Amino acid sequence: MKDYLSFPPLVVSKAYGPFIELDNGLRLIDAISSWWCKSLGHNHPRLKKALYAQLDRFEHVIFANSTHEVIVQLSEKLALLSPGLNKVFYASEGSSAVEISLKMALHAQKIKGFSQRTQFTALQNGYHGETFMALGLSDLGLYHQPYEPQLIKPQFICNLPYVTSREDPLWEDCSDCWPAIEKQLEQQATVLAAIIVEPIVQGAGGMLIYSQDFLRRLRKWTREQGIYLIADEIMTGLGRTGFALACEHAQIQADFICLSKGLTSGWLAMSAVLTRTDIYNLFYDDYSIEKNFLHSHTFSGNALAAAVALECLTVLEEENIYLEVQKKETILKTLMQEVADITGKLTNIRIIGAIVAADLVLTTEQKNQRVGYQIFQEAIKMGAWLRPLGNTIYWLPPLNIEISVLEELKDITIQSINKLL
């Protein structure tokens, strides 16, 4: 918190498209989509119109034994994202969606008679949120170390087959890596309730991209073992990697999908868990049988958020955003490569969809300094909100950002790096 003495909070006056404007008139490119949620940029006119239209009807009512037209339409659209996952459970932010999926998986195993299946496994370098179960399954010590005695103790799958792009041979075939990973998994096979993954891209871990073949093999293994697979698509879902869901890269379907962030394009807090009818049916019984899945959420099914989410999904479809992201992938890679070539200070460029990242080339002495944070401060002065992950520089802009703005972002990134290094 002491950082704010030397780098005071920036006062935002307005935001529009890919830009944030400060009270002093400085315009900033939102290079990270305001922590990955502004998928359609700021102040999108169609989303605003949908919000106002719902506001004239009602803003929120209890979502227990009630429903309304907008939430029905939204649920029907979400059920089409991964055909077969046609049951939707609503909450607020992403961490809650993760907690719900974990609880549901654990409870479902118990109802099926597998009371020994009480454990979870996650991936090395993964991140799933900061509520307690989600935090315990996040392999980022900075976040969970203060609370470690109270957290669940999962096994993390190590030595993942990381790639820099879909052109890497490991993307298509990780058979050389899989036996060692399978050996790790087999140690817990009989006690696992579920495995949770950020499919294809690990966000907070450093924008790390791993083999789709690994995800495909993991799905096959979990199915054979009777273990649920939870796909945390909170960051990757709804177009970020060029598809509606990142799981599509591996052509697999998880048992649970968690969505948030881009679901309302960052307008309002909303999350959703998608699952199958057969899992839903495990909890379907008379009240006295006590199979109920209880997770009460005051703002579940919020009408304003639902209206914006419905319009957001419609915009993604009608404006062919997923295809646009696939086209932008090459452009983003080219621009980041230019930054690397001109500065000589970036390595390990990795790209998928509208995510591109690279690591700063630092001396031994510089590695102990917060160089990325200093570059962030310089970039602010030059007109970009280029907040790094440690010493990893990345762009994760709105999906509909114009190429000319990306060119401007490239120039600012070069100037900021050169200023410091």
Instruction: Tell me the residue length of the chain.
Output: 421
Is residue 262 included in any domain, yes or no? yes
- In percent, the amount of the chain with pLDDT more than 70 equals 100
| Adjacency order of strands within the sheet including 208-210 | 162-163, 208-210, 201-202
Residues 339 and 312 in one domain: no
Residues 20 and 75 in one domain: no
Name which of 241, 240, 245, 244 is nearest 229 in CA terms.
245
Secondary structure class of 247 (helix, strand, coil): helix
Is residue 37 included in any domain, yes or no? no
Say yes or no to pLDDT of 42 above 90.
yes
**Which of 289, 319, 349 is at the close of a domain?**
319
Cα of 111 vs its chain's centroid, Å: 30
Mean pLDDT of 212-234: 98
Do the beta carbons of residue 44 and residue 52 sit within 8 Å?
no
Binding residues: 35, 94-95, 127, 232, 261, 296-298, 387
**Which of 319, 344, 361 is at the close of a domain?**
319
Confidence of residue 121 (pLDDT cuts 50, 70, 90): very high
Q: At 373, which CATH number?
A: 3.90.1150.10
pLDDT per position as a tens digit, 279-309? 999 999 998 888 999 898 899 999 999 999 9
Confidence of residue 351 (pLDDT cuts 50, 70, 90): very high
Residues 99 and 79 in one domain: yes
- Quote the CA–CA distance of 83 and 248 in Å, as a whole number: 12
- Determine the structural domain holding residue 131 and report its residue range: 47-319
Say yes or no to pLDDT of 177 above 90.
yes
Binding residues for substrate: 35, 127, 261, 296, 387
Is residue 98 included in any domain, yes or no? yes
Domains of the chain: total: 2
Determine if the pTM surpasses 0.85.
yes
Binding residues for pyridoxal 5'-phosphate: 94-95, 232, 297-298
**Which of 288, 319, 350 is at the close of a domain?**
319
Residues 183 and 206 in one domain: yes
Residues 95 and 194 in one domain: yes
Tokens 């909170």, located at residue: 234
Q: Which residues of 205-239 are buried (b: 16+ CB within 10 A; e: fewer)?
A: bbbbbbbbbbbbbbbebbeeeebbbbbbbbbbbbb
Residues 81 and 226 in one domain: yes
Q: At 197, which CATH number?
A: 3.40.640.10
Say yes or no to pLDDT of 156 above 90.
yes
Mean pLDDT of 344-355: 98
Do the beta carbons of residue 257 and residue 85 sit within 8 Å?
yes
- Quote the CA–CA distance of 240 and 143 in Å, as a whole number: 24
So what's the pLDDT on residue 163? 98
Half-sphere exposure of 216 toward its Cβ, with a 13 Å CA cutoff?
Answer: 13
Name which of 133, 349, 354 is nearest 232 in CA terms.
133
Residues 338 and 313 in one domain: no
